[in-house]
């Protein structure tokens, strides 16, 4: 089961969205220079559909997107929770920030609108760096996928 440590409403993780970002613990990636090393620990509260629904209901009028920040140890749980959001909250978009270089085999992208892939490499920088190895993809209806990483490089675009 996934566990979350905290959450926040943010404006810079997904372009043009007011995002409810949920930090998920027990990260297996161990990226050197990680900005949230506490998320490597197996800590926090279980992130069940019930708990997620309770959180979303509390902030439903303030957000346009839910983004799971981590969850690489259990990507099928990310799929399950994103599907829950899509079924229960049709007007809320979904995103996943993964530190893996590619999607896991059998991962269902139909329930996600945005996916960030790539481990943090300090020498290359994060999404705001033009040299980053990380990429943010937008998944559109009909199966079209767009790399929108450049949106982080444009001044005042987010």
Class assignment of domain 3-152? alpha beta
Q: Which helix (H) or strand (E) holds 7?
A: strand 3-10
DSSP 18: -
Which positions ≥6 away from 156 have C-beta within 8 Å?
none
pLDDT digits (tens, 9 = 90+) for 98-127: 999 999 999 999 999 999 999 999 999 999
- Report pLDDT for 154: 72
Q: Is the pTM of this model over 0.85?
A: yes
Q: Which helix (H) or strand (E) holds 51?
A: helix 49-59
* Sequence ranges of the domains in the chain: 3-152
């Amino acid at each position: 089961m996934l566990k979350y440590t905290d959450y926040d409403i943010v404006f810079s993780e997904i372009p043009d969205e007011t995002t409810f970002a949920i930090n998920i613990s027990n990260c297996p990636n161990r990226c050197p220079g990680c900005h949230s090393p506490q998320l490597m620990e197996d800590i926090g509260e279980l992130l069940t559909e019930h708990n997620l629904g309770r959180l979303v209901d509390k902030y439903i009028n303030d957000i346009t997107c839910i983004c799971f920040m981590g969850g690489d140890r259990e990507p099928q749980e990310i799929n399950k929770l994103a599907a829950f959001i899509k079924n229960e909250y049709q007007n809320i978009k979904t995103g996943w920030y993964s530190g893996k270089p590619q999607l896991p085999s059998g991962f269902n992208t139909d329930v996600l609108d945005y996916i960030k892939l790539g481990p943090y490499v300090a020498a290359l920088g994060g999404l705001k760096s033009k040299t980053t190895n990380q990429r943010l993809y937008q998944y559109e209806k009909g199966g079209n996928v767009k790399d929108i990483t450049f949106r982080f490089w444009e001044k005042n675009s987010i």
